[in-house]
Amino acid sequence: MFHHYRRLIELRHTDEVVREGVTRILWPDDDQLFCLTRTLGERRLLVLANLSGRPAGLPGDAPDLTRAGLVLTTHPDLPADRPVLAPWESRVLRLS
């Protein structure tokens, strides 16, 4: 867990989209998922976090993950384009 937080801090220092991008919260009423996009110009990151001990499926209007590039994850053994998050899983994906 410490390693993951350290990588998040590093990402904040090295990625302009994280530092300066416009934040948009996705599905703010969802108690299980915390999801947001950060956009700067044409570049966009997607942050996904399952805040529960149960698997969490992404809503049908979720961004297409099939071409997303994995930036950071808590579960490196799982495919980044899965539309389901494992319990307590988080991912940062580059959408463009």
pLDDT in tens, 42-64: 999 999 999 999 999 999 999 99
pTM (2 decimals)?
Answer: 0.89
Mean pLDDT to the nearest integer, 30-51: 96
Query: Is residue 9 scored above 90 in pLDDT?
Result: no
Residue 82 phi, psi (nearest 5): -65, 135
CA–CA distance, 52 with 33 (Å, rounded to integer): 8
- What's the pLDDT at 14? 84
CA–CA distance, 42 with 3 (Å, rounded to integer): 29
Mean pLDDT to the nearest integer, 7-12: 77
Tell me if residue 65 falls in helix, strand or coil: coil
| Percent share of the chain, pLDDT over 90 | 80
CA–CA distance, 14 with 66 (Å, rounded to integer): 25
Please report, for the chain, the start and end positions of each structural domain, with discontinuous segments joined by +: 2-94
Q: What is the mean pLDDT of the chain?
A: 91
Query: Is residue 25 scored above 90 in pLDDT?
Result: yes
Q: Which residue has the higher pLDDT, 94 or 15?
A: 94
- For the structural domain made of 2-94, what CATH number should be given? 2.60.40.1180
